[in-house]
């Protein structure tokens, strides 16, 4: 999902949270729900531009309560894509499994969010076999995170129409390329991203269960420790995609109805093996923005939009004529988009689960190359896949 489309979706969601009509909520649900959908996914075409490709699939939900469901979805895209080294090629399958959470629910409509990890499988990805200079193709599977939301319309207690849109950051791992007469070289991976739009219909069999009564959850402030895992492409020539563990803390404060000031500060202590002009060393991450959603009974469901920064401890600042590097700290703007689920096991405790795509915007930097200032552009936005878990206290 592009930054613009993701931000637009969350703004629409926020508007809905503020002004949703107070109609009586749908009064029943079933445990099981299954459906079918037509999907459009944006992938690279033969001209190396973006094209929306059509696919069909199905989904299966297990409704835990009136708002939260475990959801799985499988889609097949039959178009044969151009093979790209390590990235895509051939036909595409996407499978995801995670959480669907209804934030706004009326008698006829609901607005929901999705956080569903899974994978992309491509049948014919380009690669370079060892000890051969001739490229070939093979199947490859990439870890992905499906983040987004949508709308449901309830024509009857059994039948549902649905439309949803998601961003799909996925991890393209590092690989090696055989070089004739020189062994192999690292081909750095990346966190790629695409957008998917789906339209579907679902049926809910089995006994209708009456919605439980809901009560608001108290608490104006919330804070606690948090731990993180971030999949990110590092810029150093010997690094590529890495899995970075981190730790820190979060805080949240409600300021208006369903909106909260919310922030994380995290430190990722593992340094890189090499550096680039924008990225290198350890990462200090600060995210400060908004979360919007509801707290009902023992559950909280939120979307998040949080600008912030990544501060890198060791980036290249100069290169002397003798080949010696100098290093400095570099700080860059980031934007965190995703979702938060909170569980309330007791009166003041909070178990917090986050998933998101932290977009990284590298600024242009000037590097001193043996007395000559050279500019290195930041390039396109870079994506990450980030999961956080923490425990907090409400008061």
Supply the pLDDT for residue 176.
78
Q: Left if phi > 0, otherwise alpha if psi is -120 to 50, otherwise beta: which for 64?
A: alpha
| Residues 119, 143 contacting (CB under 8 angstroms) | yes
What are the structure tokens assigned to 67, written together? 């708002």
User: What 3-state class would DSSP assign to 49?
Assistant: coil
Over the stretch 295-328, which tens digit does the pLDDT of each residue have? 999 999 999 999 999 999 999 999 998 989 999 9
Q: Could you tell me what percent of the chain has a pLDDT over 90?
A: 80
Q: Region 72-81: what's the mean pLDDT?
A: 97
Residue 2 has pLDDT above 70, yes or no: no
For 58, residues 6+ apart whose C-beta sits below 8 A from its C-beta are 34, 35, 36, 37, 73, 74
Q: Tell me how far apart the terminal alpha carbons of the chain are, to the nearest angstrom.
A: 36
For 174, residues 6+ apart whose C-beta sits below 8 A from its C-beta are 186, 187, 188, 189, 240, 241
Residue 299's Cβ-side half-sphere holds a number of Cα atoms within 13 Å equal to 13
Supply the pLDDT for residue 18.
45
Over the stretch 15-67, which tens digit does the pLDDT of each residue have? 444 444 344 456 789 999 999 999 999 999 999 999 999 999 999 999 999 99
Which residue, among 60, 164, 157, has the nearest Cα to 112 in the 3D structure? 164
Over the stretch 156-203, which tens digit does the pLDDT of each residue have? 989 999 999 999 999 999 987 767 666 677 888 999 999 999 999 999
Residue 373 has pLDDT above 50, yes or no: yes
User: What 3-state class would DSSP assign to 16?
Assistant: helix
Supply the pLDDT for residue 182.
66
DSSP single-letter state for residue 313: E
Supply the pLDDT for residue 135.
86
pTM of the model: 0.90
Domains detected in the chain: 1-212 (2.40.160.20), 215-395 (2.40.160.20)
Over the stretch 327-364, which tens digit does the pLDDT of each residue have? 999 999 999 999 999 999 999 999 999 999 999 999 99
Supply the pLDDT for residue 133.
66
Residue 392 has pLDDT above 80, yes or no: yes
Q: How are the residues of the chain apportioned to helix, strand and coil, as percentages rounded to the nearest 5? A: 5, 70, 30
Alpha carbon distances (Å) from 54 to 68, 160, 271: 29, 22, 42
Q: Could you tell me what percent of the chain has a pLDDT over 70?
A: 91
Residue 15, strand partner residues: none
Quote the mean pLDDT of the chain: 91
- With vertex at residue 304, the alpha carbon angle to CA 200 and CA 241, rounded to the nearest 5 degrees, is 85
Q: Region 5-11: what's the mean pLDDT?
A: 47
Which residue, among 206, 203, 152, 205, has the nearest Cα to 35 in the 3D structure? 203
Residue 373, strand partner residues: 368
Over the stretch 98-149, which tens digit does the pLDDT of each residue have? 999 999 888 899 999 999 999 999 999 998 887 666 889 999 999 999 999 9
For 49, residues 6+ apart whose C-beta sits below 8 A from its C-beta are none
């Amino acid at each position: 999902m592009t930054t613009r489309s993701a931000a637009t979706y969350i703004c629409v969601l926020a508007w809905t949270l503020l002004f949703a009509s107070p109609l009586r909520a749908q009064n029943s649900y079933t445990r099981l729900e299954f459906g079918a959908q037509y999907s459009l996914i944006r992938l690279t075409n033969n001209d190396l531009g973006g094209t929306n490709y059509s696919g069909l699939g199905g989904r299966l939900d297990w409704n835990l309560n009136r708002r939260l469901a475990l959801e799985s979805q499988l889609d097949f895209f039959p178009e044969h894509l151009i093979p790209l080294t390590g990235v895509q090629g051939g036909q595409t399958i996407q499978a995801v499994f995670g959480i669907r959470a209804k934030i706004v629910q009326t008698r006829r409509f609901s607005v929901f969010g999705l956080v569903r990890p899974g994978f992309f499988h491509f049948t014919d990805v380009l690669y370079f076999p060892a000890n051969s200079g001739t490229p070939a193709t093979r199947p490859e599977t990439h870890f992905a995170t499906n983040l987004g939301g949508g709308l449901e319309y309830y024509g009857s207690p059994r039948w549902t129409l649905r439309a949803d849109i998601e961003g799909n950051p996925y991890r393209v791992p590092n690989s090696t390329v055989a070089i004739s007469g020189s062994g192999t070289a690292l081909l750095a991976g990346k966190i790629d991203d695409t957008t998917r739009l789906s339209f579907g219909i679902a049926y809910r069999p089995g006994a209708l269960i009456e919605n439980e009564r809901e009560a608001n959850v108290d608490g104006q402030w919330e804070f606690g420790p948090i731990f993180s895992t971030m999949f990110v492409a590092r810029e150093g020539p010997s690094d590529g995609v890495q899995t970075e563990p981190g730790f820190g803390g979060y805080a949240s404060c409600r300021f208006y109805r369903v909106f909260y000031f919310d922030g994380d500060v995290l430190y990722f202590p593992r340094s890189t093996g090499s550096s680039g002009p924008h990225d290198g060393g350890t990462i200090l991450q600060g995210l400060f923005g908004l979360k919007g959603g509801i707290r009902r009974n023992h559950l909280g469901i939120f979307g998040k939009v949080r600008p912030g920064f990544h501060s890198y401890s060791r980036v290249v600042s100069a290169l002397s004529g003798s080949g010696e590097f100098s290093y400095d700290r570099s700080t860059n703007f980031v934007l965190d988009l995703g979702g938060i689920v909170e569980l309330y096991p007791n009166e003041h405790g909070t178990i917090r689960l986050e998933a998101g795509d932290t977009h990284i915007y590298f600024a242009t930097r000037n590097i001193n190359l043996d007395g000559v200032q050279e500019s290195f552009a930041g390039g396109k936005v870079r994506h990450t896949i980030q999961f956080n878990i923490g425990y907090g206290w409400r008061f």
